[in-house]
Structure 1
Amino acid sequence: MKAVLAGTVIAEADESELIAIEGNWYFPLTSVTPGVLVESPTPYTCPWKGEAQYYSLHVDGETHSDQAWGYPNPYPTAFERLGKDISGHIAFGPDVEVGS
């Protein structure tokens, strides 16, 4: 699977490495192109996943605000609900096309 923003592949991983949650594909952080993620101060806490870390995406000299997020320290309820550790994964916002 690939994540593409403005015609540029920003992440690529085998579908077996991704986690599907609530209509979003979570890619391993290791699959994201180096230099694309820029930490954002935007706060959000999911009631069952925990505190999110938002990221802006820097692609071809442009910054796309808050178009990615992950849960570096998910709540135990996330493990219970998913049966997987999502701490090393990241999802992308609506400006990013995700597909094969």
Structure 2
Amino acid sequence: MMRAIWNGVVIAETPRTRVVEGNHYFPPESLRREHFTESRTRSLCPWKGVARYYDVTADGLTNPDAAWYYPHPVFLARRIGNHVAFWHGVAIEGTQEQA
């Protein structure tokens, strides 16, 4: 099972992630939504498209823009559409389960 953990709290959990450029992308249904708030931040990746961000809140603390996703990825990145990746101190732990 793969887990995203921040501030001692599991914020996402799934048997399998999609790994792109060393980042684990969690399916949207694996998020514990109570920890996520839409951010106004956007960025552009030349081959994936426009990324949107979430602020992550756990145990009373907020980690701004700690998660990102591509709601409308370009064709080459379509397999990670709406999947969420993490940074800014969010730990990714666990082992991928066999498909």
User: Structure 1 length as normaliser, TM-score?
Assistant: 0.87
The match for 2:66 is 67
Aligned AA (2:64): S
Residue type at the aligned position of 1:26: Y
2:82 is the counterpart of 1:88:
yes
Q: CA deviation at 1:69?
A: 0.1
Q: For each residue in 1:27-47, what CA deviation from the matched residue of structure 2 results, as whole angstroms up to 9, or x when unmatched? A: 011101121111111120100
| Structure 2 unpaired stretches of 5+ | 95-99
Q: How many angstroms does 1:76 deviate by?
A: 1.2
1:22 paired residue number: 21
> 2:27, 2:76 → 1: CA distance?
20
Using the size of structure 2 for normalisation, the TM-score is 0.88
Matched, 1:44 2:38: no
Instruction: Point out the structure with the larger strand share.
Output: 2
Letter in 2 for 1:33: R
Q: Percent identity?
A: 43
In the aligned structure 2, how far is the partner of 1:39 from the partner of 1:97?
20
Measure the CA separation in 2 of the matches of 1:38 and 1:24.
Answer: 21
CA-to-aligned-CA distance 1:6-34 (integer Å, 9 cap, x gap): 1111111002xx10011110001110112
Q: CA deviation at 1:90?
A: 0.3
RMSD of aligned C-alpha atoms? 1.1
Q: Structure 1: any 5+ residue segments left out of the alignment? A: 80-84
The within-5 A match list for 1:50-61 is 50-61=49-60
Please list every run of at least 4 consecutive aligned residues from structure 1 whose deviation after the TM superposition is greater than 3 angstroms: none
